[in-house]
Structure formats: structure tokens, C-alpha cells
Amino acid sequence: MTPPRPAPSPTRLLSRGDLRLLALALLGEQPRHGYELIQHVSELFARAYTPSAGTMYPLLASFEQAGWVLGEDDAGRRRFHITDAGRAELLARRDEVKAAQHRAWHRARDIAKADMPPALRDALRQFKGALVRHHGRWVDGEAEQVANYLLRATALLNGQPATPPDSSTPPA
């Protein structure tokens, strides 16, 4: 059994070998172009880390050489499909893959928290507490109203116009 990998340093987002595991796992979900794979890895890290094409394409070439993926031309681009050998590799290393995914998720969360203004961090903490205390006691329209406010906040953060809340339900 492989010993656990050390956590990345504060300046390093990935542990050694994590990108390899994450990329193969993403290809195990569905076929992807190299650029799509780069974007999905970037999303795992809340866009704080985006692998370069100079990193991703040699990695994909090594996957092809190992027989784990098959690259096929698709309208001038290469779409990579996982092979049975690639699935076997994922299965054999499933614990390492889960650990890499776990590290990526926690690292993205740490990045988001580090950049979050204290007022927002406190509001989110209070919101999470309210959700826990409110569990199972939703009345008609209440979940939709809360969801509407969250969607407005999301639109604001994404630089999109926030639609006004549904006026048929008064604010809480």
C-alpha cells in the first residue's frame, strides 16, 4: 500500500501526482478534449489553479502511451476516451484518487475562505447554523424564497444583474 502523500505546502496547490490522478478520474467520468480537462481541473480549484497546456497535453500523451486513454480526432481537436486499462488503473488507485479529490476540494475551500471578507465569512457561518437548526421545518414557499435570495447573491458575484426577489413572498 502506498503511504499517504504529504499535504501540499501553502504555496503549492497540488501534492505530487495529484494532477495525474485528477485528470484520469475526470476522463473516467466522460470523454473530454484537453482544453475541457484543463477547465474542469481549474474549476476544482475555484480557478485559483489552472494547469497549463504545456502540463496537460504531455500528461495526456503519457496516458495514451500507458494505454489508459485513446485520443481521437474530433473536428480538428482531440477527444480523449478512457480505456479498459485506464479504468483498471483508476480502480487500482481508487483510494489515492479519492484522497487527491479530497485534497483538491479542501484546498479550493481554503483558497475561497482565505480571500473571503470577514463580514461574508460570518454571514455564511450564521446561514449554515440557521440551516442546521431549521432542518425539516420548511413551510410552503420558504425554500423557494431562500433559494431566490441565494441565486440573487450568486448573480451578483458573477457580475450578472440580480433579479429582484419574488414580491409575492415577504422577506424573512
Between the alpha carbon of residue 130 and those of residues 98, 102, 116, 144, 146, the distances in Å are 30, 26, 20, 16, 12
Q: 58-81 burial string, b = 16+ CB within 10 Å, else e? A: ebbeebbeeebbbbeeeeeebbbe
pLDDT of residue 165: 57
Confidence at residue 166, expressed as pLDDT on a 0 to 100 scale: 55
Mean pLDDT by groups of 10 residues along the chain of 172 residues: 48 80 96 95 84 95 97 91 97 95 86 81 87 87 90 86 58 48
**Cα 28 to Cα 23: distance, rounded to the nearest angstrom:** 9
Q: How do 32-33 and 69-74 pair as beta strands? A: unpaired
Report helix, strand or coil for 33.
Answer: strand
Spell out the domain ranges in the chain. Answer: 18-114, 118-157
Spatial contact of 170 and 148, defined as CB atoms under 8 Å apart: no
Contact 163, 153 (CB under 8 A): no
State the CATH architecture for 18-114: Orthogonal Bundle (1.10)
Residue 148 in grid coordinates: 431566490
DSSP class of residue 80 equals E
Write down the pLDDT at residue 65. 97
d(CA 63, CA 80) in angstroms, rounded, equals 10
The pTM score is 0.64
Sign of the alpha-carbon dihedral angle for 41, 45, 46, 48: negative
